[in-house]
Amino acid sequence: MNGSRLLGTGSALPAKVVTNAELAERVDTTDEWIVERTGIRQRYIAGEGETTATLATAAARAALADAGVDASSIGLIVLATATPDNTFPATATKVQAALGCNGGIAFDVAAVCSGFLYALATADSLLRTGMAKRALVIGAETFSRILDWEDRTTCVLFGDGAGAVVLEAPSGGDSGKNAPGIIASRLHADGACHDLLYVDGGPSTTQTVGHVRMKGREVFRHAVVNLSSVLREVLDEAGVSADEIDWVVPHQANARILDATAKKLGLAPEKVIVTVDVHANTSAASVPLALDVARKDGRIKPGDLVMLEAMGGGFTWGASLIRL
């Protein structure tokens, strides 16, 4: 049987845009280097009063409005973030309180840039078992607050934002690749790659928040291999060929990774949703943000077959195939 159905999407971005040229005034970089190596032209950076929870709540409200359902019908909130408002409680509980739908399940998922894929598969599993009827799945980040603004190899890459989807438990009926709902999901982690992408602080080690550290070239190499492999797994599981996919909504880390992964699978580049130019890498927020942009601008339509995929710190990676 197909999994949960997607009822609506929403997203939220901080008010402030920072261009590559503005960054070049702070660190030793250029607009040309950033655009050529990553495809990034600008990013949104959270200002005073904007936090992971406020962005997540705004994205959630937009998703509820898009779905046409009331917050009171949400029995489960799974929020993916590596930049929670507080070490505890979960940022999901702050969102729940802000939406006024207290009493259901609410927790955070920590899988960094793959967080939304982990959150989606987790929420889908809980909905399938009857733990709740409707869920909000949110990816929200304020990565600007864990960046080392002196380190040009990382600070130019990331931005802040949030994206959310409303999911409804499967109700039986049609299933398979032509019926609506999540058709197949696969998740992976390889903890041996910790040192290639991590934050050098935390409550139990340094008692500080820490900063992002990344060996970019090695992450890049792993990303293309791992993403191609998990996409192949999901296609095989679903019995779908790459050319049947209408849209791929990838984690937006680097335009070159998107191109290389699409090429490896034989996917047409025009089927790949790209927002890295305007959002930069928003970690767990990037997939739902890009999904919302492409639904709202009319590219992704009801009935389309959509592949979501991401890879990030851990390493973690995953993909989900969904018929809208």
Question: What is the set of active-site residues?
Answer: 113, 251, 281
Q: Contact 276/258 with Cβ under 8 angstroms?
A: yes
Token pair for 223: 């990303």
What's the min distance (Å) between Cβ of 255 and ligand UT7? 9
Nearer to ligand UT7, 256 or 296 (CB): 256
Hey, which residues does 136 pair with through a beta bridge? 77, 166
Token pair for 105: 């399940």
What is d(CA 148, CA 253) in angstroms, rounded to the nearest whole number? Answer: 18
What's the min distance (Å) between Cβ of 286 and ligand UT7? 8
Token pair for 137: 């799945």
Give the interface size with ligand UT7 as a residue count (CB under 6 A): 19
User: Which spans in 68-172 are helix H?
Assistant: 91-99, 115-128, 152-155
Amino acid at 173: G
Q: How far is CA 9 from CA 46, 60, 68, 229, 295, in A?
A: 21, 8, 11, 27, 8
Q: How far is CA 159 from CA 150, 281, 289, in A?
A: 16, 6, 12
Subset of residues 91 to 130 that bind ligand UT7, contact rule: CB under 6 A: 113
Task: Give yes or no for residue 264 binding ligand UT7 (CB under 6 A).
Answer: no
Subset of residues 176 to 215 that bind ligand UT7, contact rule: CB under 6 A: none
Task: Give yes or no for residue 81 binding ligand UT7 (CB under 6 A).
Answer: no
What's the min distance (Å) between Cβ of 68 and ligand UT7? 33
What's the min distance (Å) between Cβ of 103 and ligand UT7? 35
- Which of 73, 125, 153, 228 contacts ligand UT7 by CB under 6 A? 153
Nearer to ligand UT7, 117 or 169 (CB): 117
Nearer to ligand UT7, 58 or 82 (CB): 82
Task: Give yes or no for residue 312 binding ligand UT7 (CB under 6 A).
Answer: yes
Amino acid at 304: D
What is d(CA 59, CA 138) in angstroms, rounded to the nearest whole number? Answer: 8
Hey, which residues does 315 pair with through a beta bridge? none
Task: Give yes or no for residue 46 binding ligand UT7 (CB under 6 A).
Answer: no
Angle at 259 between CA 256 and CA 262, to 5 degrees: 145
Task: Give yes or no for residue 37 binding ligand UT7 (CB under 6 A).
Answer: yes
- Which of 128, 133, 145, 152 contacts ligand UT7 by CB under 6 A? 152
Subset of residues 213 to 242 that bind ligand UT7, contact rule: CB under 6 A: 216-217, 219-220, 223
Q: Which stretch binds ligand UT7 (CB under 6 A): 9-17, 30-38, 45-53, 174-182?
A: 30-38
Task: Show Cβ contacts of residue 86 under 8 Å, excluding neighbours closer than 6 positions.
Answer: none
Interface with ligand UT7 by CB under 6 A: which residues? 29, 33, 37-38, 113, 152-153, 156, 216-217, 219-220, 223, 253-254, 257, 281, 311-312
